[in-house]
Amino acid sequence: MTSIKRGNSRIIFHIDMNSFYASVEQSYDPSLKGKAIAIAGNPKERRGILVTCSYEARAKGVYTTMSVWEAKRKCPELILLPPNFERYRIASRAMFEVLKSYTIQVEPVSIDEGYMDVTNIDGPMTALQIADDIQTRLLTELDLPCSIGIAPNKFLAKTASNLKKPMGITVLRKRDIDKILWPLPVLDMHGVGESTAKKLYSIGLQTIGDIAKAEEGLLKETLGKNGSRLKKRANGFDDRAVDPDSVYDTKSVGSSTTLPTDESDLHELKKVFKSLTSKVANRLESKRLAGPTVSIQIRDSDWNNSSRSQSTRNLIYEKEKIFEVAWTLFTKNWDGQPIRLLGVTVSNVVDRVDFTEQLSIYNFEEHAKEEPILNLVESLQKRFGKEMVTRGQTQVRKPTYESKTSFSKDFLDDHKDRENK
């Protein structure tokens, strides 16, 4: 056996838990093993869609995001279970504890997946043997299956982990991308969604290989900076490091909801926007974050998706300001089609302690109101010393992820808490 070290080249793992929620439920209740099960919202309402489903259900034509009624039509014996988020968080913590027993270079990217940089692990085991050991431990110790991608960078590792499910271990080297990666359709490429795929189709690009060989100028003209990024990754290049500290980074905070019925009443839609912006504001407050860009997502009754965004002069976090921008975006761009789903997001967020508001003609009055306070503070400082008198401010800290309204980020606190012990 050869050592895992390979000179200066990196060895990156992407660990992807297979049908995580469903697998956790089957582990918790062994009588569910081998059966078609799905995790869903309220099955009595149309908003009930499948969050995930077991591979037994997938074999019957059931898939994630399918509506409950359609899933039951395809698979009458389907067992529907409500989500148990605390159970999934416990399983996620245990899963990442196993990964961190091999190296501290572990980057969680969601509750059920993460990257590992195993380049500098000493010992006689090869990369394949380490991957096999991780997969076996997760299955025997936690009763949870996973797939693992092995590659010289994060993009290829993520791609590799998707190539064989469940319980696959796949190596994807740069020299093999023309045979393995390039024949795949553009929608199979990590980072390409339906909207981007449509744009790629419009310029005649059907496969990942087409992207790799396309003129960069054409891609930039069609997709902007993302076009250049996709071309690099389609050719196997990705220099992003595995970053354990990215667990603290929040790029955006949002909330969305599927409406019980297709809605076209402006008054009702306005109430939905107020509810969404209130949730976003609460999440921003819990994390002490603010951002300059507000985006809305719209899905109409024909499942057409669209989004609009607007950047403001200053960072915002109050629900009233978020609602003002979001509602203006909606009323300017809504074509009257009945709405199935709405979403609101504040992006490019930063810690509110770290930002300073730009003084402008629009907000100078707010600063002017503070002048008597500033004068008082200055007077007291002259009398008692600057160290003795300061304006109150929030203690600088990393953003927390303890918002009770956003499960998708809550699990990150588990990693933070363990690092601080």
The set of catalytic residues is 113
Q: Are the beta carbons of 173 and 181 closer than 8 angstroms?
A: no
Per-residue burial over 322-360, b = 16 or more CB atoms within 10 Å of its CB, e = otherwise: bbebbbebbeeebeeeebbbbbbbbbebebbeeeeeeee
Residue type, 104: I
d(CA 111, CA 21): 10
- Residue 377: Cβ within 10 Å count: 15
Q: What Å distances lie between residue 190 and 154, 161, 332, CA to CA?
A: 11, 11, 32
**DSSP string over 323-381:** HHHHHHHHHHH--SPPEEEEEEEEES-EEGGG--PPP-TTTHHHHHHTHHHHHHHHHHH
Tokens representing 218? 């054409």
d(CA 282, CA 404): 9
Q: Are the beta carbons of 44 and 80 closer than 8 angstroms?
A: no
d(CA 270, CA 324): 11
Classify the C-alpha dihedral 383-387-388-389 as positive or negative: positive
Q: Cα-atom radius of gyration of the chain, to the nearest Å? A: 25
- Residue 156: Cβ within 10 Å count: 27
**CB-based contacts of 329, cutoff 8 Å, min separation 6:** 294, 295, 296, 308, 309, 310
Q: Are the beta carbons of 319 and 281 closer than 8 angstroms?
A: yes
Query: Rounded to 5 degrees, what are φ and ψ at 396?
Result: -65, 130
